Amino acid sequence: MNKVLVLDIETKPALVYAFQMYDTNILPEQIVDTGGLLCFCAHWVGTKDFMFFSEWHDGPLGMAVALRELLNEADAVVTYNGNKFDIPKIRGHLILEGLKPFAPPTSIDLIKTVKSFGFDMNKLAHIGPLLGVGRKMKHEGFSLWRSVMEHDEKAQKRMQKYCVQDVRVTARLYARILPFIQDHPHLGDNKGACGACGSDHIQSRGYRRTKFFKVQRLQCQECGSWSTGKRTKI
């Protein structure tokens, strides 16, 4: 059985000295703390468990080790804007902790598919309710991050709930838009199975034509996703 990991991280801001509060550039010597990974939540598709790791529970090294093990185990990783944010941040965290890199993930970044829908806004806070997959947890804004960094245990618990809820919404969104993900990796157990959901219930739905080929159209009768079959030269 293929293992699909849904993942979301939260980071903490940098701490710097500054002479003014706006329109300023920060120099290296002004940096007190570069920030970094604060916590993360991970969930295996098809299970009920949501795994949470944090700076206050596991330490920076503990988070790094857990992330590398999970990513090495995953056949594919589902994120929301993870190609630009989560995955690079995780790589940076691992090298700072002196660890070897994780196996290059097969990435399923949902924001790429969401952008293809032509909605006016692509933020998860908007997309979740719009598609009926849940809402991000409301919180007090930046004050939550500050309270967490000041070791407020109640704030840490709220941050955990916030991070877990993001993963819960992302997992539901993945299930909702699965048939629309055009470049979904083939996760079926055999060549004839649906690459998206693994179902063997595939039916031919005619052909599409290119300049040189007639290409068979296939549709999964379980998840509804489309794929291509035999190519015949015209």
Instruction: Note the pLDDT tens digit of each residue in 110-132.
Output: 999 999 999 999 999 999 999 99
Residues 6 or more apart whose CB falls under 8 angstroms from that of 23 comprise: none
SS3 173: helix
Residue 190: what pLDDT?
A: 74
Please, is 29 exposed, middle or buried when counting C-beta atoms within 10 Å of its C-beta (0-12, 13-18, 19+)?
A: exposed
Please give the C-alpha separations between residue 191 and each of 48, 143, 167, 198, 202, in angstroms, as whole numbers: 29, 51, 30, 10, 11
One domain for residues 154 and 192: no
Q: Which parts of the chain have pLDDT scores under 50?
A: none
Give the number of other Cβ atoms within 10 Å of residue 215's Cβ: 14
Considering the domain architecture, whether residues 176 and 195 belong to the same structural domain is answered as: no
Domains held by the chain: number = 2
Q: 78 forms bridges with which residues in the sheet? A: 6, 108
State the pLDDT at residue 180: 94
Residues near 210 by beta carbon (within 8 Å), at least 6 away in sequence: none
CA distances from 119 to 115, 128, 132, 177 (A): 7, 12, 15, 14
pTM: 0.89
Helix axes 86-96, 55-73, angle to 10 degrees: 110
In a shared domain, residues 109 and 200: no
Residues 82 and 125 both lie in one domain: yes
Question: CA-CA distance, 203 to 184, in Å (whole number)?
Answer: 18
CA–CA distance from 11 to each of 40, 75, 80, 104, 221 (Å)?
9, 25, 15, 22, 40
Does 114 share its domain with 147?
yes
Q: What is the pLDDT of residue 195?
A: 73
| Residues 64 and 37 both lie in one domain | yes
Compute the distance between CA of residue 85 and CA of residue 30 in angstroms, rounded to an integer.
24
Whether 101 and 151 share a structural domain: yes
Cα dihedral 127, 133, 138, 143 sign: negative
Average pLDDT taken over every residue of the chain: 92
Give the domain range for residue 225: 186-234
Q: What's 18's domain CATH number?
A: 3.30.420.10
From 180, 198, 213, give the residue that closes a domain. Answer: 180
108/111 Cα distance (integer angstroms):
9
* Predicted pLDDT at 186: 82
Residue-level pLDDT at 223: 82
d(CA 139, CA 136) in angstroms, rounded, equals 9
What pLDDT is stored for residue 215 in this prediction? 82
Q: Are residues 11 and 124 in the same domain?
A: yes
Task: Specify whether 194 is located in the same domain as 149.
Answer: no
pLDDT for res 1: 64
DSSP for residue 32: E
